Amino acid sequence: MLAEPPAPGRTQGNSLAAATLMFSVFVLGACGLLYELIVGAVSTYLLGSSVTQFSLTVGLFMSSMGLGSYLSKWIRGQLIDRFILIELLVGLAGGASPLLLMLVYSLNSLWLYRLAMLAAITIIGTAIGLEIPLLTRIVNELGGSLRVALARVLALDYVGALIGAVGLPLVLIPWLGLLGSGFVAGFLNVFVGLVNLGVYRGQVAAPRFLAAGGLVALGLLGVAAGSVQPLEYFVESRLYADRIVLMRTTPYQKIVVTQWGNDIRLFLDGAIQFSSVDEHRYHESLVHPGLSAVPERASVLILGGGDGMALREVLKYPDVQHVELVDIDPEMVEVSRTFPALTALNRGSLDDARLSVRPMDAFAFLRETSDRFQFIIVDLPDPHDEKLSTLYSREFYSLVARHLDVRGAVAVQSTSPFFAREAFWCIHKTLESAGLVVYAYHTNVPSFGDWGFNLAFARVSSPGARDADQGEAVSDTGRVGAHPELPEYWRSTEALLPVETRYLDRGLVTASFSFGKDVAEVEVSFSTVFRPAIAEYYVKGWRQWN
């Protein structure tokens, strides 16, 4: 077959020029997708609801790229000059975007952040939309048909996008975080522009101007990339009221520990997990009402709880023989095991010989294990995004129930019944939909306000079934089946709370099962993996207080 001849009036470009353009297309495809993912990740980190943030980000990016592609038809001459200038603009705007967005967010104005996000996406997306048409025209002018040029450009652009999509979560974020990833992508854009300037220097109308601008941009982004850690501390310090004493970015989350006097606070992805001033109220309430009530507690499972605080309370019971702790982020466990401020709080619980740590997703663990446990603690972050919402679904709680000993109990942290009333009772109803007998209770944690929990038992069992043989079903008349019965059990059983506590006593536990009118149960739907009602209830509840 004969090769397709060059179009009339065009000359066959040299191999270096062609290779440079193909390299440029590949890098720009990677950088373009990196900017989309980074802006979406920043918005998710700051605002939550990953599906919403990424949908908005990708939609705005695509429409802005369409605008850029349309505007490219007005660029008629000096294509190389225009292309290099666009690379400098994209590199600076895209590289600085995560830093600027976080700084704007620190001003505590949601509408201002939304405006800044819209401006950043529009500028970056429009500039990226200009790149591909210009590159296609430049490749086409080297020789050959438009059909061949377009096929080469789009193919390499898509391959580059794949590399960017894989590289961000696996390489860039673990090593450099969101800020550093933005700077690296911006650096690559500017570098591509300067490489093309060197190759096409004889065809560029303003080489000195572009070279000076490119070197300045390259220097700024290089210095910023080399100063990621102090920049992160500077930005994060504007987001937190107290001094940051530890900050780690992992493939799963951003871990921040702050300190003000004797108050140590842990934040995951910007959301407070505990304050040392009152964390004992939360963790005692999460653990002891249920663990004191089960007849046997040799085997305990903790889902989440990588800070070791719930584990500290569990290990107070001498009859606990083995604890399985499942946390998806091994770095969270390691920080809690080695960082002095946290080890002092959890009393070195993560070094206890009775503990086994499983660094894996809770859902995956429950699918894989065949073990049963006499007490299960679900101490996971609030369902502020769609991924976490799956851990508050009927499917997840059904797996939990499958691994529960017949006379065991499950304690679930369940957000605030005051601030997110519908979300709290949705968790309660979802546990019931999984076939469990459930009791709602709550307590006051000053750092969080009124905070809620759910205590669930297998439908064939109850706290009162202490004399039943293992595996023997208790009749419907004998099992716990109505809310008032569990507090009565607490009032009548002397053996409860056999360990030292700083906050709880039997009277407080009994009272915690009572709810006032403004936090009483409301009609809600249960949540499933495919219909995550909890996410809508949670966002709706907390949004009114922000």
Written as one string, the DSSP assignment of 378-393 is EE-----SHHHHGGGS
Estimate the share of the chain in helix, then strand, then coil, as percent rounded to the nearest 5: 55, 15, 30
Cβ atoms of residues 136 and 142 within 8 Å: no
Task: Check whether residue 404 and residue 509 sit in a common domain.
Answer: yes
User: 452: buried, middle or exposed (CB in 10 Å: 19+, 13-18, 0-12)?
Assistant: buried
| 119/515 Cα distance (integer angstroms) | 46
CA distances from 143 to 10, 28, 82, 204, 421 (A): 6, 22, 20, 19, 66
Domain final residue, candidates 185, 214, 236:
236
Q: Please enumerate in sequence order all residues whose Cβ is within 8 A of that of 226, keeping only pairs 6 or more positions apart, or say none.
A: none
Task: Check whether residue 246 and residue 225 sit in a common domain.
Answer: no
pLDDT in the model for residue 493:
64
Q: Which residues are marked as active site?
A: 379
Q: Please enumerate in sequence order all residues whose Cβ is within 8 A of that of 73, keeping only pairs 6 or more positions apart, or say none.
A: 133
pLDDT in the model for residue 9:
37
| 344 in any annotated domain | yes
pLDDT in the model for residue 233:
86
| 186 in any annotated domain | yes
Low-confidence ranges of the chain (pLDDT < 50): 1-13, 461-484
Strand order across the 271-275 sheet: 243-249, 254-260, 263-268, 271-275
| 115 in any annotated domain | yes
Task: Check whether residue 144 and residue 175 sit in a common domain.
Answer: yes
Task: Check whether residue 202 and residue 343 sit in a common domain.
Answer: no
Cβ atoms of residues 272 and 266 within 8 Å: yes
Q: What is the CA radius of gyration of the chain?
A: 29
| 491/511 Cα distance (integer angstroms) | 10
Cβ atoms of residues 369 and 503 within 8 Å: no
Cβ atoms of residues 469 and 460 within 8 Å: no
Task: Check whether residue 37 and residue 167 sit in a common domain.
Answer: yes
Domain span at residue 256 reads: 240-271
Task: Check whether residue 431 and residue 463 sit in a common domain.
Answer: yes
| 328/359 Cα distance (integer angstroms) | 5
Quick one: angle between helices 79-105 and 15-47, nearest 10? 20
| 119 in any annotated domain | yes
Cβ atoms of residues 32 and 153 within 8 Å: no
| 2 in any annotated domain | no
| 47/225 Cα distance (integer angstroms) | 25
The CATH number linked to 391 is: 3.40.50.150
Task: Check whether residue 305 and residue 190 sit in a common domain.
Answer: no
| 28 in any annotated domain | yes
Task: Check whether residue 257 and residue 282 sit in a common domain.
Answer: no
Task: Check whether residue 213 and residue 291 sit in a common domain.
Answer: no
Nearest alpha-carbon partner for 46 in 354, 271, 303: 271
Q: Phi first, then psi: what are they for 375, rounded to 5°? A: -150, 130
Total domains in the chain come to 3
Q: Please enumerate in sequence order all residues whose Cβ is within 8 A of that of 543, keeping only pairs 6 or more positions apart, or say none.
A: none
Pairing of strands 263-268, 271-275: antiparallel
| 130 in any annotated domain | yes
| 205 in any annotated domain | yes
Task: Check whether residue 397 and residue 507 sit in a common domain.
Answer: yes
The CATH number linked to 183 is: 1.20.1250
Largest distance between two CA atoms of the chain: 98
Q: What single-letter DSSP state applies at residue 305?
A: -
Tokens of 537: 């209830």
Task: Check whether residue 295 and residue 404 sit in a common domain.
Answer: yes
pTM attached to this predicted model:
0.79
Task: Check whether residue 244 and residue 231 sit in a common domain.
Answer: no
| 84/68 Cα distance (integer angstroms) | 15
Domain final residue, candidates 174, 209, 236:
236
pLDDT in the model for residue 489:
63
| 514/47 Cα distance (integer angstroms) | 33
